[in-house]
């Protein structure tokens, strides 16, 4: 079971290329700060603009740097089933502990098409698979009924739920069972998601405030709800600031202020506006990071 504070890692660049040194140093810092698991090549890692070779390298860099101290859940999905299978095979061979597979975007498959897509990966690669349900980016939204069908397959172990529908984790648990791993994809609602039966969060904010995110999850697991709620409130301005423009633009700017990476983003993404920069800075000051 994957649980707790899981960071959707940014991908640092230097001279427009993946900065492997900065990436592995960032992974080390994340582990030192208490992060429970790592996600390379997710949306926050700019997966749409990484080449196939770069994605493979980033996954390998993450696996090497983490060195089995925490699980690595590699982003391997695309809107092509064959490509998804190929990348998931690579992730397994590279030593990843699971694959995070996004809903097939743009081509708008039916529920049966979604089922067949994930079943094909399940049948081809013996690696735990987490479904990434993010309708705001992929348009497609997997129904609980389709997810329940998929949960019966041996390698489909959970979901990253970025629907922002807080009825979903409860409905999913009742339909599938408590052992189906449910991870939030929405930082701002993490405690509510946990209260509805969730197990953790794949976080954007965790890039900037990994210890606070980790402490929140540990407090929840220990039943120290006062501390969890205190951290929830403290982190809220930062959650808002990380989405003042499209992810990962604000988080990379924030990390550049911390000296963790350059603010460079692959086009068509670009640096955030001056107004947004002030909002990010203010949130970081309020949270105590700056």
- Bridge partner residues of 156 (DSSP): 129
Catalytic residue among 90, 115, 132, 253: 132
Distances 266 to 13, 105, 178, 233, 273 between C-alpha atoms, Å:
9, 20, 39, 32, 16
285 is a catalytic site residue: no
Distances 9 to 6, 24, 37 between C-alpha atoms, Å:
9, 11, 10
Q: How far apart are the first and last CA of the chain?
A: 34
Residue that is written with structure tokens 């349900």 in the block? 133
Catalytic residue among 3, 60, 92, 160: 160
160 is a catalytic site residue: yes
Residues 8 and 236: their CA atoms lie apart, in Å, by 18
Upstream peptide bond of 130 is cis (omega within 30 degrees of 0): no
The helix/strand/coil state of 270 is coil
Residues 154 and 127: their CA atoms lie apart, in Å, by 9
Catalytic residues: 132, 160
């Amino acid at each position: 079971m994957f649980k707790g504070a899981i960071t959707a890692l940014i991908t640092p660049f230097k001279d427009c290329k993946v900065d492997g040194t900065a990436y592995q140093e960032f992974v080390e810092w994340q582990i030192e700060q208490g992060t429970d698991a790592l996600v390379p090549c997710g949306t926050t890692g700019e997966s749409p603009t990484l080449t196939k070779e770069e994605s493979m390298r980033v996954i390998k860099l993450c696996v090497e740097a983490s060195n089995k101290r925490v699980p690595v859940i590699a982003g391997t999905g695309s809107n092509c089933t064959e490509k998804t299978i190929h990348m998931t095979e690579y992730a397994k061979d590279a030593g990843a502990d699971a694959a995070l597979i996004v809903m097939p975007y743009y081509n708008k498959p039916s529920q049966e098409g979604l089922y067949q897509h994930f079943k094909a990966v399940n049948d081809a690669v013996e690696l735990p698979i987490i479904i990434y349900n993010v309708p705001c980016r992929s348009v497609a939204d997997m129904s609980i009924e389709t997810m329940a069908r998929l949960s019966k397959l041996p390698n489909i172990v959970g979901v990253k739920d970025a629907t922002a529908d807080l009825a979903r984790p409860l409905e999913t648990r009742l339909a599938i069972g408590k052992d189906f791993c449910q991870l939030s994809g929405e930082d701002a609602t993490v405690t509510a998601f946990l209260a509805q039966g969730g197990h953790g969060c794949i976080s954007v904010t965790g890039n900037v405030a990994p210890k606070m995110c980790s402490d929140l999850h540990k407090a929840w697991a220990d039943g120290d709800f006062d501390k969890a709620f205190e951290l929830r409130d403290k982190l809220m301005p930062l959650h808002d600031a990380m989405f003042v423009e499209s992810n990962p633009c604000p988080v990379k700017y924030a990390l550049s202020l911390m000296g963790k990476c350059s603010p460079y983003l692959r086009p068509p993404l670009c640096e955030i506006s001056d107004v947004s920069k002030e909002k990010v800075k203010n949130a970081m000051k309020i949270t105590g990071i700056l």
